[in-house]
Structure 1
Amino acid sequence: MQLLLAEDELDLARAIEVILTKQGYLVDVVHDGEDAYQYAQLSQYDGIILDIMMPKLSGIEVLTKLRATGSQVPILLLTAKSAVDDRIEGLDAGADDYLTKPFNMGELLARVRAMTRRKAVFVVDVITFGDISLDKQLRQLSTRDSDVKLANKEFQILEILMENPRRIFSAEQLLEKIWGLDSDVETNSIWVHISNLRKKLQGLHSNVKIIATRGAGYSLEEHHD
């Protein structure tokens, strides 16, 4: 499952990221409300953890904007405030749950499990485009006649492209979304994984291709020869 964590306290954000990653979650981390909203618009997350007090946009503002677009992604609010009115404001704005700082990491994990279980009731973990299907649980790419397992980074790249077909993503955007804002991984790593994905799509005899647009980036397109 893929989560978005928006927390401006860097040490706390890192601690939460480590705990969630050890539990098998894929975690994107941002440190202000504007980035949180942009990331939430770009990907279909299984859950979002939002700190209320953030620069640029507050967690409540991000939550309100997302719900206004029709987004139903489960959202857990983190707040240093314990006043009842603050909790009511968050829930009225569309939050699924809240957790008051300081909190126990075990409780955070329990809250995350609870909100993602609620989403799993109605969310299908298979996405399709053209003649291919991607099983998020198995990390398996399939056509009608064959299938292939994907490595972790290959899966994350293809998931982004399949959830946003025909949309161009630069190598820098993919790198930031998958490895994080502070990663020192080079952009040629994206090219290597794209190359591997192209070979797997070709091996499946799919009519879906990853197209490189010079100076812009990569997009997923359906081609009929």
Structure 2
Amino acid sequence: MNKILVVDDDEKIVNLVSIHLSRANYRMIKANNGIDALEKIEQEFPDLAIVDVMMPKMDGYELTKQLRTYDIPVLLLTAKGELEDKEKGFLAGSDDYVVKPFEPKELLFRVQAILRRYDKSVDTLINIGPMTINQQNYDVTVGDKTLFLPLKEFELLSVLASRTDHVFEREFLIERVWGIDYEGDDQTLNVHIKRIREKLRPITDEIKIVTVRGVGYKLEVAQ
């Protein structure tokens, strides 16, 4: 189930968008300003963000720039329809632009279109030090050696490698890899981390998965 972050200081708009997208089987994350949104994504990573342009504390253009550093696609939502405002939004990194008032069906179509484009981009490579992760064919190579990983280990390593030196909380990793409905304990995560470490250790000492006690894990690359 795709997760959509909705950011707007107008609670009515947030609720309207959430109602229609929830009916389309999207899971909603709500935020009422840019600062709140950035805090939310540290706890729960969205597949797409719908961002209002005119907000206090941080406007939608600046928030879009911040979200794009996390590779989160952005749909801007605004009352402005002038060409220069659209241009400013796209220059900030937005993927699309919807002008208020909008038809819920149009918003849904645009969300679906962005997610389709985002899904197609999953075939990009992640290059971390001597390691290359191919998310299209699930290959992991370190130098001239190939690392054979089961799917869950591959997904876990890919998440950690997506942001080196970033501490991922245990709950976030479990939800991201096993899903929000996972009912097992976090020992499963420990076991998968241990297996990945055991496979990395004989072939490289440049890449390490570090335990951050009481929080989670991060991937480090030796300089």
**Above 0.5 in TM-score?**
yes
Structure 1 CA distance for aligned equivalents of residues 104 and 83 of structure 2 = 15
Q: Which amino acid aligns with 1:157?
A: L
Counterpart residue type for residue 146 of structure 2: S
Please tell me whether the aligned partners of residues 139 and 146 of structure 2 are also in contact (alpha carbons under 8 angstroms): no
1:1-225 correspondence runs (5 A): 5-7=4-6, 8-9=14-15, 10-16=18-24, 18=26, 30-32=29-31, 33=33, 34=35, 36-38=37-39, 48-52=48-52, 61-67=59-65, 71=69, 73=71, 74-77=73-76, 79=77, 85=81, 89=85, 91-93=87-89, 94=92, 95-99=94-98, 100-103=102-105, 105-106=108-109, 108-114=111-117, 125-143=124-142, 144-151=144-151, 153-175=152-174, 186-202=185-201, 205-207=203-205, 208-222=207-221
C-alpha distance in structure 2 between counterparts of 1:147 and 1:137, whole Å: 15
Deviation string, structure 1 residues 123-157 (Cα, Å, up to 9, x no partner): 98111223221112223221222232441x43343
Contact residue 154 and residue 193 of structure 1 kept, 8 A: yes
| Comparing 35-44 and 187-196, the one that deviates more | 35-44
1:112 Cα shift? 3.7
The letter of the residue matching 2:38 is: Y
Query: TM-score, normalising length from structure 2?
Result: 0.62
Partner letter of residue 109 of structure 1? Q
How far off is 1:85 after superposition?
Answer: 3.2
| Structure 2 residues not aligned, in runs of 5+ | 7-13
How many Å separate the matches in 1 of 2:217 and 2:19? 33
Check conservation: 2:169, 2:215, Cα contact below 8 A: yes
Unaligned ranges ≥5, structure 1 = 19-27
Q: TM-score, normalised by structure 1?
A: 0.61
Cα distance change of structure 1 residues 170 and 37 upon mapping to structure 2, 3 Å threshold: closer
**How far is 1:102 from its partner?**
0.8
Percent identical across equivalent pairs? 22
- What is the match of residue 9 of structure 2? none
TM superposition shift of 1:161 = 1.8
Q: Which has the bigger relative contact order, CA under 8 A and spacing at least 6? A: 1
- In the TM superposition, what is the alpha-carbon distance from 1:75 to its structure 2 partner? 2.2
The structure-2 alpha-carbon separation of the partners of 1:84 and 1:168, relative to structure 1 and needing over 3 Å to count, comes to closer
* Distance (Å, rounded) in 2 between the aligned partners of 1:199 and 1:29: 37
Corresponding letter in the other structure for 1:168: V
| In structure 1, C-alpha distance between the alignment counterparts of 2:70 and 2:62, rounded to whole Å | 11
Does the Cα contact within 8 Å between 2:197 and 2:209 map onto a contact in 1?
Answer: yes
